[in-house]
Amino acid sequence: MSKAYDVMAASCPSRTVLHRIGARWTIFVITALADQGGPMRFTELKRYIQGITPKVLTETLRALETDGLVLRVDHGDNPPHVDYALTELGQSLRAPLAAVREWAETHVPDILESQQRAAGSAAGAAGTHH
């Protein structure tokens, strides 16, 4: 039997899924919650993911909640108390994203070096055109 979904097909819904996963801040939120190993509060996430703005964090969390990857629990106290945690589905995304994160952190030097070389040869070739 053939696969039900194929990302190479133009109108396959898996492309939408991929788009969500690839969204700028998704990997950070999932990774943060995974790193922590338990529920985190809004401010805690914001502190952990350095440089993220509250607006973007909210948007990302809402999207992940909609997709069933993150569970939002409002304890309704005053002052407010809201917890975010990975759902089971979210947990299943831990390993793949951890691998990507690991790859990124590991290969920074390689890529920087390649970029240097590319910039260098571009500059060197700059006079040769036209």
Partner DNA sequence: CGGTATCCGGAGAGATACTG
Partner DNA sequence: CAGTATCTCTCCGGATACCG
Residues that bind DNA (CB under 7 A): 23-25, 41-44, 51-56, 58-59, 61-62, 72, 74, 79-84
Question: Could you tell which of a second copy, DNA, none binds residue 54, using a CB distance below 5 to 8 A set by kind?
Answer: DNA
φ, ψ for residue 7, nearest 5 deg: -60, -20
Minimum Å gap between C-beta 2 and a second copy is: 12
Q: In what order do the strands lie in the sheet with 40-41?
A: 40-41, 82-86, 70-74
Q: Which tokens in the block code for residue 123?
A: 């500059």
Question: Could you tell which of DNA, a second copy, none binds residue 53, using a CB distance below 5 to 8 A set by kind?
Answer: DNA
Give the residue among 83, 82, 24 at the shortest CA–CA distance from 56.
Answer: 24
Give the residue among 67, 111, 59 at the shortest CA–CA distance from 86.
Answer: 67
Question: Could you tell which of a second copy, DNA, none binds residue 55, using a CB distance below 5 to 8 A set by kind?
Answer: DNA
Q: Which amino acid is at 8?
A: M
Question: Could you tell which of DNA, a second copy, none binds residue 71, using a CB distance below 5 to 8 A set by kind?
Answer: none
- The β-bridge relationship of strands 40-41 and 70-74 is unpaired
Give the residue among 56, 111, 64 at the shortest CA–CA distance from 86.
Answer: 64
- Using CB under 8 A as the binding rule, the residues of this chain from 70 to 129 that contact a second copy are 89, 92-93, 95-97, 99-108, 110-115, 117-118
Residues near a second copy (CB under 8 A): 3-11, 13-14, 17-24, 27-28, 31-32, 48-51, 65-68, 89, 92-93, 95-97, 99-108, 110-115, 117-118
